[in-house]
Amino acid sequence: MSHPQKALLDEFQYAIHHFVPTLPDEIKAEAQKIHDDLEADKTADEAMIRRVFHDVGVKEYPYRHAYDELIHTKEEGKMNQLVLEHVEDTVKKVIEPHLNAGVHLDELIRSDLLAENLSPEQIYQVVDGIAVAKSKLGEAIKSHVSADTAAYDALLQKWNDHVKMIEGKLAELLDLAKQGDEGQVSEIKGKVQMYKEGFLVTEPDPDLKEIEEEISYWKEAFAEEA
């Protein structure tokens, strides 16, 4: 009998398989053990697994973004080419002009352009292509890290600080729920959970500006009700 939350666990396993090569082995091993323990526990529910998405994602997120920045500066041309080779011609025709114009892949994924021009299956081709390209470029990026550890460590610190800023804003947003009624509390908690899940590689990244705008919205809303 398969696990009641098989789809979520499959997503978690996919994320683990696509962790960046520069992620420390102990973090990847810890994530795999957590996944295997959850898979063995048929009582593990959706809420428990989604909390793990955040807990594991927060640890992996800085390494992924430090790695991505290295790709931008060192291997972006190769990255784009590998993704273009991975997707069908119809998808290639949509994304190639934007990549040639200097738009980064991560910016392209976050934009409305793909949703407006491609089907969900075609968008998945792009997402999967990025994951495959990162894996293929792993050794090249590792050599860049080894050659310039100071630069990589600075990037890692930058993204660790960014995680702390996001976590602080999420705590601020959640604290605002204390002022709301039952419906407002549910809405705010749902938004916070959505942003938290965004730390996992398979989910859209939590956007700091968007969270700040959410905080401003609720502050104004509660001020008007007072």
Please write the tens of the pLDDT for every residue from 95-108: 999 999 988 887 88
pLDDT at 38: 95
Instruction: Share the mean pLDDT of the chain.
Output: 90
CA-closest candidate to residue 64, choices 199, 194, 170, 192: 199
**Cα dist from 140 to 18, 166, 173, whole Å:** 16, 30, 40
Per the structure, the count of domains in the chain is 1
Q: Is residue 11 part of a domain?
A: yes
Q: Is residue 134 part of a domain?
A: yes
Alpha carbon distance 51, 29 (integer Å): 18
Q: Is residue 1 part of a domain?
A: no
49-74: pLDDT as tens digits: 999 999 999 999 999 888 888 777 77
The pTM of this model reads 0.73
Range of the domain at 167: 6-225
Alpha carbon distance 75, 69 (integer Å): 10
Q: Is residue 34 part of a domain?
A: yes
Alpha carbon distance 10, 135 (integer Å): 19
Is it the case that residue 76 has pLDDT exceeding 80? Answer: no
106-153: pLDDT as tens digits: 788 878 888 899 999 999 999 899 888 877 877 777 777 777 788 888
pLDDT at 39: 94
189-200: pLDDT as tens digits: 999 999 998 998
Q: Are 189 and 173 in contact (CB under 8 A)?
A: no
